[in-house]
Amino acid sequence: MAGFAAKCAGSPPPGRPFLGSSVRLGSADRWERVLGEERDAAGRDRPVISLSPSAEFPPLSAQDVEALHRLGEHWRAADEVRALPVDPELRPARPGATHTRAPDEEFRPDQPGELTATPTAELPDTLLGRVAVRARRVLLGRPLSSKAILRERMRKIVALPVLASDLLSSVAYGPEALLTVLVLAGSATLGLSLPIAAALVVLMLAVGASYRQTVRAYPHGAGSYLVASASLGPRTGLTAAAGLILDYVLTVSVSVAAGIAAIASALPAAAPLSVPLSLAVIGALLAGNLRGIRVAGNIFAAPTYLFLVAVGGMTLVGLAQAAARGFAVVPPPHVPATEALSVLLIARAFASGATSMTGIEAVSNAVPAFRPTEWRNARTVLTWMVSLLIFLFAGLMVLIHLNGLVPRADETLLSQLAHRTFPEGPWYAIVQAATALVLLLAANTAYNDLPRLLYFMARDGYVPRRFLHMGDRLALSNGLVALSVSAAVILTAFGGRTQSLIPLFAVGVFLAFTLSQVGMVNHWRRQRGSGWRRRAAVNAFGAALSSIVLVSAAVTKFVEGAWVVVVAVPTLVLTCLGIRRHYDRVRQALSLRPARPPSPDRARELAQEFLPQRVRHMFVVPVARFDKAALRALTYVVSLGQPSLAVHVSPEDQEADRLREEWTAWGDHIRLETVVSPHREILEPLAQYIAQLYDRSPGITLTVVVPEVVVERPWQRILHSQIERRLRRSLRRLPGVVITSMPKHLSEARARTAR
């Protein structure tokens, strides 16, 4: 018992070593815990969260280990020590062995009873498979060892462009979204843009300060999903997660569409190709992120810094030019009003301008991706991000107002401002190129955060567990692919139009903001540590402002497309709850201990169910014709010394009679049962016959051994019936029926013929 518990914990057991050996695929020397507990400043437990390739298979609980120990006691009477016909440690083979590779090329001895697979062992056997693996390695790089995850962390100088690209690039379309709504009341109302911008700056400060506290309170992961789940309950956490999922998918769609729009402003000929170009950019982003977080950070850092220099420099030059003329305001061109100025219109403009804050939560989601000390470095980067955002947003809004610019269908506001600031020289082209690049790569923030969110949700059982899997480069590949496909579908459906996507954008963003900050208020109220009232007040202020934007966006943009998010969020929550219920049922069904303590009789019955000596076998061999494939399966079955039966399904009596005659000539060593199918159906009568056998004696384990012809080329498979797979689909509902196959290789037969 102690030995097994030690093995589960990852340390060698005391006393005698374990019998048997384990093979691991490059496992790490040590791991951070996937989910543990640590004490916070107030002495309370809080979760410790990090990524691990082993997250799908956590260690057994102490109760499960105890149940396993009790079950193992019943096995002792059935234990038989038998010599293995092959050395499991793969020591050098005897001379003349057919294995062509030296064992240490595939598996390297690590310690007694344990081998480590080398890259050679991970290559497929087929030529096509090996070509695919090598092509993937050329595209993505050589696979990283699992222990390299501890080194895949970001420095602050790399984390800033990786995590801030979405936030900072949003100033390229946020101000334009604000003015596009405001100008509906005519150019005379554009003066309201500065008060609205000032209110948005206050919102940025409040939300930024709130997330700084969130990062400190949850130093091992502070996304809205985790905070809301811990403080407000799992359903609220799922609501926040649904908003984040929509946020990240739309981040990719909006950023890429805005980047292509920036290119089209400078090169109008590219406008008709906006959707294909957008899809190509999404493909490039996917390939870059599949290479790993550190490599992706190094690739995508330069464009963000170029954008900061270009747009920041344009802002400073523009302010200097405005100061030289005494900050005189250039009158905007006349735009007729199509709507009356109202509180509702102002609220719509405020909600649209608030999209300049998208991505502000990226740092809190990615705290574990920083180098130690994680939370301190994350807060530093968050402070830089918010400061840069306020400078760029406020500066651009002031310059747009001073220059009298209005939104135009053929050119973005940023392009107009660059033309006005740099009427000659290469600077306009530099600003447009930097803007296009950062908009295209702003989606990288979503590529960094959404797979991590799906990982945590999969760990909790709310999304498929495949999102726990890491690829060759320790990237959460399934999450990256799901994000790319979803964004590509949405972008194509909306024809690459940024303004059509933004109404969907704001609701999901601020839903997550609001729930995260409300969760933080509840967090401080529960802890009641030093200064908790001040911290709770900061988060409450941020929650109040975020909720105002949320309600404004949902109400004012409902008809424009926000209804999609209003419908999608509860749909996603219900879907996640359904997935969780399924996993709960699976876990209960597979658990080593029942949900409730069983009665003594039931406990003995459960123990008997898993005793090897209590298993009753019967083997069934479907025989289509008497040939080498069938004979090989029959030979295998007879060698096991268990009750056996052969079954032949025939479309007519004459064929059945012919096979019985051949069977008698062979010697009738196994009972043969023939089934005549007058309507020429073969599979269904065979499946029904096997099901009837099982129903007559449900206590037996019925193993169906299907003779299988293994062809030499993949295309040749379509020339054969693949009855094993079809039979497995038909009989999978029966718990005591096992479907397997006995292969007969054509390449083996040809080699013998050649000799």
Q: What are the Cα distances from residue 344, in Å, to 175, 240, 341, 548?
A: 18, 26, 8, 13
Are the C-beta atoms of 7 and 64 separated by less than 8 Å? no
What whole-number percentage of the chain has pLDDT above 90?
13
Q: Are strands 737-745 and 700-710 parallel, antiparallel or unpaired?
A: parallel
In terms of pLDDT, which residue wins out, 85 or 743?
Answer: 743
The span from the CA of 453 to the CA of 218, in Å, is: 15
In terms of pLDDT, which residue wins out, 467 or 362?
Answer: 467
Q: Are strands 114-117 and 107-111 parallel, antiparallel or unpaired?
A: antiparallel
Per-residue pLDDT, averaged over 172-188, amounts to 86
The span from the CA of 48 to the CA of 334, in Å, is: 58
Per-residue pLDDT, averaged over 559-568, amounts to 76
Residue 149 pLDDT grade (very low, low, confident, very high; cuts 50, 70, 90): low
Q: Which of 21-35, 43-57, 281-295 has the highest mean pLDDT?
A: 281-295
Confidence (pLDDT) at 76: 61
Are the C-beta atoms of 451 and 479 separated by less than 8 Å? yes
Residue 2 pLDDT grade (very low, low, confident, very high; cuts 50, 70, 90): very low
Confidence (pLDDT) at 553: 77
What whole-number percentage of the chain has pLDDT above 70?
77
Confidence (pLDDT) at 11: 35
Confidence (pLDDT) at 578: 94
2-11, 340-349, 578-587, 640-649: which has the minimum mean pLDDT?
A: 2-11
List, for residues 443-461, the tens digit of each pLDDT value.
777 888 888 889 889 988 9
Confidence (pLDDT) at 621: 92
Per-residue pLDDT, averaged over 519-524, amounts to 86
The span from the CA of 669 to the CA of 672, in Å, is: 9
The span from the CA of 202 to the CA of 354, in Å, is: 11
Confidence (pLDDT) at 19: 33
Confidence (pLDDT) at 748: 60
List, for residues 473-502, the tens digit of each pLDDT value.
777 889 999 999 999 998 888 777 766 666
Per-residue pLDDT, averaged over 415-438, amounts to 86
Instruction: Give 4: exposed, middle or buried? Use CB within 10 Å, 0-12, 13-18, 19+.
Output: middle
The span from the CA of 98 to the CA of 96, in Å, is: 6
In terms of pLDDT, which residue wins out, 573 or 287?
Answer: 573
Confidence (pLDDT) at 43: 38
70-84, 135-149, 421-435: which has the minimum mean pLDDT?
A: 70-84
Does 32 score more than 80 pLDDT? Answer: no
**Residue 614, C-beta contacts closer than 8 angstroms, at least 6 positions apart:** 608
φ/ψ (deg, to 5) at 109? -60, 130
φ/ψ (deg, to 5) at 53? -65, -15
Per-residue pLDDT, averaged over 398-416, amounts to 87
Per-residue pLDDT, averaged over 138-151, amounts to 67
Quote the strand ranges of 50-121, DSSP E: 107-111, 114-117
Does 131 score more than 60 pLDDT? Answer: yes
Does 246 score more than 90 pLDDT? Answer: no
Place of tokens 């149940």: 67
In a 3-state reduction of DSSP, which class is residue 576?
Answer: helix
Q: Could you tell me which of 114, 134, 116 has the C-alpha nearest to residue 124?
A: 134
- E strand or H helix at 433, and its extent? helix 427-441
For the chain, the structural domain boundaries read 153-583, 615-754
Confidence (pLDDT) at 123: 67
Confidence (pLDDT) at 387: 93
Q: Could you tell me which of 499, 448, 460, 401 has the C-alpha nearest to residue 174?
A: 499
Confidence (pLDDT) at 394: 93
In terms of pLDDT, which residue wins out, 127 or 203?
Answer: 203
Q: Are strands 22-24 and 45-49 parallel, antiparallel or unpaired?
A: unpaired
Residue 573 pLDDT grade (very low, low, confident, very high; cuts 50, 70, 90): very high
Confidence (pLDDT) at 100: 44
Confidence (pLDDT) at 33: 34
Confidence (pLDDT) at 21: 37
Cβ atoms within 10 Å, residue 558: 15
Residue 421 token pair: 């600031």
Q: Give bridge partners of residue 109 from the DSSP assignment.
A: 115
The span from the CA of 580 to the CA of 582, in Å, is: 5
- Mean pLDDT of the chain, nearest integer: 78
In terms of pLDDT, which residue wins out, 24 or 541?
Answer: 541
The span from the CA of 107 to the CA of 89, in Å, is: 9
Confidence (pLDDT) at 332: 85
Does 401 score more than 80 pLDDT? Answer: yes
Q: In the sheet where 22-24 sits, what is the strand order?
A: 22-24, 114-117, 107-111
Q: What are the Cα distances from residue 149, in Å, to 51, 108, 476?
A: 8, 21, 12
Does 49 score more than 70 pLDDT? Answer: no
Does 715 score more than 60 pLDDT? Answer: yes
Does 554 score more than 50 pLDDT? Answer: yes
Per-residue pLDDT, averaged over 160-164, amounts to 83
Are the C-beta atoms of 572 and 244 separated by less than 8 Å? no
Does 559 score more than 80 pLDDT? Answer: no
Confidence (pLDDT) at 14: 34
Residue 201 pLDDT grade (very low, low, confident, very high; cuts 50, 70, 90): very high
The span from the CA of 347 to the CA of 555, in Å, is: 9
Per-residue pLDDT, averaged over 167-195, amounts to 86
Per-residue pLDDT, averaged over 177-206, amounts to 89
List, for residues 339-395, the tens digit of each pLDDT value.
888 888 888 888 888 878 877 888 887 887 788 788 888 899 999 999 999 999 999
The domain made up of 615-754 is a member of CATH 3.40.50.620: yes
Instruction: Give 338: exposed, middle or buried? Use CB within 10 Å, 0-12, 13-18, 19+.
Output: exposed
Does 464 score more than 60 pLDDT? Answer: yes
Confidence (pLDDT) at 240: 87
The domain made up of 153-583 is a member of CATH 1.10.287.610: no
Residues in the chain, overall count: 755
Does 216 score more than 90 pLDDT? Answer: no
Q: Could you tell me which of 504, 506, 447, 457 has the C-alpha nearest to residue 479?
A: 447
Long-range contact list for 570-576, CB < 8 A, 24+ apart? Answer: 570/242, 572/238, 572/241, 572/242, 572/245, 572/246, 573/235, 573/238, 573/239, 573/242, 576/238, 576/241, 576/242, 576/457, 576/462, 576/463
53-67, 283-297, 589-603, 681-695: which has the minimum mean pLDDT?
A: 589-603
82-91, 594-603, 691-700: which has the minimum mean pLDDT?
A: 594-603
Residue 257 token pair: 């569409």
Confidence (pLDDT) at 257: 82
φ/ψ (deg, to 5) at 20? 90, 180
Confidence (pLDDT) at 580: 94
Residue 82 pLDDT grade (very low, low, confident, very high; cuts 50, 70, 90): low
In a 3-state reduction of DSSP, which class is residue 510?
Answer: helix
Confidence (pLDDT) at 657: 87
The span from the CA of 220 to the CA of 103, in Å, is: 42
Residue 593 token pair: 């201990």
The span from the CA of 173 to the CA of 180, in Å, is: 10
Longest dimension (CA), the chain: 111
